[in-house]
Amino acid sequence: MSLTNYLTQSVIGAIIYFPIGLYLAPYCGYTVSLLIGLFTFTLQVRFCKWWLSKHKQGPLEFIWHKWTWIGTKK
């Protein structure tokens, strides 16, 4: 789940702080940014536990594994 977490954290951060999304960067101080980060972390941990209880690996790890082995027989 590390690849999935890394990319989703980057996307969530971009949506929250960059002009393409909510653009909260000029308005959030250090404390609010820390709280947003802790909230995002908590959501990711809960999602990981739920996902891994049903699947062997994360969704992006599954796709990466499939693309890595294109054209080979298992």
Q: Which two tokens stand for residue 23?
A: 């653009």
Which segments of 1-74 are extended strands (E)? none
Q: Which of the four pLDDT bands, split at 50, 70 and 90, describes residue 74?
A: low
> Can you give the pLDDT at residue 72?
80
> Can you give the pLDDT at residue 14?
95
30-54 and 2-17 helices cross at what angle (nearest 10)? 140
> Can you give the pLDDT at residue 71?
81
CA within 13 Å, CB half, 71? 1
Q: How many helices (H) and strands (E) does the chain have?
A: 3, 0
Alpha-carbon distance 48 to 1, whole Å? 7
> Can you give the pLDDT at residue 17?
94
Residue-wise pLDDT tens digits, 12-59: 999 999 999 999 999 999 999 999 999 999 999 999 999 999 999 999
